[in-house]
Structure 1
Amino acid sequence: MTTPSDRPTILRSNLGRMRQLGAGHHIVEHWKAERLTAIGSAPLSIWFIIQMLRLGDADHKNVVQWAGKPVNTVLLLSLMILTFHHMQMGLQVITSDYARGKNKTILDLVIKGGTFFLGLLSVISILKIALAPAKK
């Protein structure tokens, strides 16, 4: 049987012991990044909704011309990049809360790969429209 004097004395504060549990500053940085992408996506989403309502009765040619304008192309690309990055970070938070071990690793890879693929697909689609030669 061990007595209290046989146990090693730990001379760390509670904060010192908590630091051993992981990098807490990454959580704060992740939280800030999520908020920044949300703040950036909000005005872009409002702009996009207004533009889609404005283009509601437009034919394909007019929509392609609209998307081909440099300002609209840049805003669409910004919206897609911010949206998919925000989505990836949000899903990552969910998996970090509810998944453990190998399942978490697999889910993280699926989420990162899936959001990257969908984001890349949307960026390529926008660029294809923007860089397409104008049809008469």
Structure 2
Amino acid sequence: MSANPATRGRCPAWWCRRSAPSTASRSGRSSLAARKAAAASRAPHENRNRALIGVRLAEVQLRRRHPAHAADTITRLASDLALVTSGRITQALVHLRAAWRPYLNDPTVRTADELLSPLISGHTSR
């Protein structure tokens, strides 16, 4: 008996997802269009939860003095953040953006800051 279920003519979803990487991941770069399509296909509460968890992760990364990691996290969540209208997330983004001001000379942080700018326009940090 083979250990790989795919060789027996059956491929459970969990095995196929694990063993068959997408074209984007095989090439080493993710497709922005694929991420946007995935975000649009999720239920609204899933986008909100994903965005909230990601923003909290970015806050922790920034507190640990890893601003590039925090900026990368926010950049990867840009499509989810654009779909979510939550005061809690917006306020967290305002605080995050204010906290990484000293690190704006880093190109990754600058790019993430430019992504956040239109999403949180009109809100101020208290």
Q: Do the two structures share a fold, i.e. TM-score over 0.5?
A: no
**Bigger-Rg structure (1/2):** 1
Greater helix content: 1
- Which is bigger in relative contact order (C-alpha 8 A, separation at least 6)? 1
* TM-score with structure 1 setting the length: 0.25
* TM-score with structure 2 setting the length: 0.27
